[in-house]
């Protein structure tokens, strides 16, 4: 594997061929936080090539998602609190952003 040293790494820390490298994930996450306005992010979770962003305020979630260029949204009106999950591919990663539930004119949940 390119960039490895002679030092032996435990199996759970090695990257499978074809998998995204940790360095690439962290670089992509840095780009995502910069685009999404890091001050609005309370926490994020990384699992493989997937990132979940929890905004400081759910009302900021849609703004973060739109800043990242996301257009796909799935409403969860029965969740507590009710949310919209915005998702898309950003910097080569699958990204999900929680947001306050969207409302449409004349639509009631």
The Cα–Cα gap between 87 and 73 comes to 6
Hey, where are the domains in the chain? 17-100
Task: Choose which CATH entry (3.30.460, 3.30.450, 1.10.3470, 3.50.4) describes domain 17-100.
Answer: 3.30.460
CB atoms within 10 A of CB 87: 17
How much is the average pLDDT of 88-96?
A: 87
Tens of pLDDT along 35-89? 778 888 999 998 888 899 999 999 999 999 998 889 999 999 999 999 999 999 8
How much is the average pLDDT of 20-44?
A: 82
Tokens linked to 33: 């936080």
What confidence score (pLDDT) does residue 80 get?
A: 93
Give the dihedral sign, CA 51/52/56/59. positive
What stretches of the chain adopt beta strand conformation (E)? 41-47, 50-55, 72-76, 83-90, 93-100
The Cα–Cα gap between 104 and 77 comes to 13
């Amino acid at each position: 594997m390119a960039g490895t040293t002679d030092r032996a790494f435990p199996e759970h820390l090695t990257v499978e061929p074809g998998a995204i490298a940790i360095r690439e994930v962290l670089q992509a996450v840095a780009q995502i936080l910069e685009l999404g306005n890091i001050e609005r992010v309370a926490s994020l979770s990384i699992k493989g090539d997937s990132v979940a962003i929890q905004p400081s305020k759910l009302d900021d979630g849609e703004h973060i998602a739109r800043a990242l260029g996301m257009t796909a949204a799935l409403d969860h009106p029965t969740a507590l609190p009710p949310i919209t999950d915005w998702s898309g591919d950003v910097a080569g990663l699958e990204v999900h952003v929680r947001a306050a539930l969207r409302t449409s004119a004349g639509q009631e949940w």
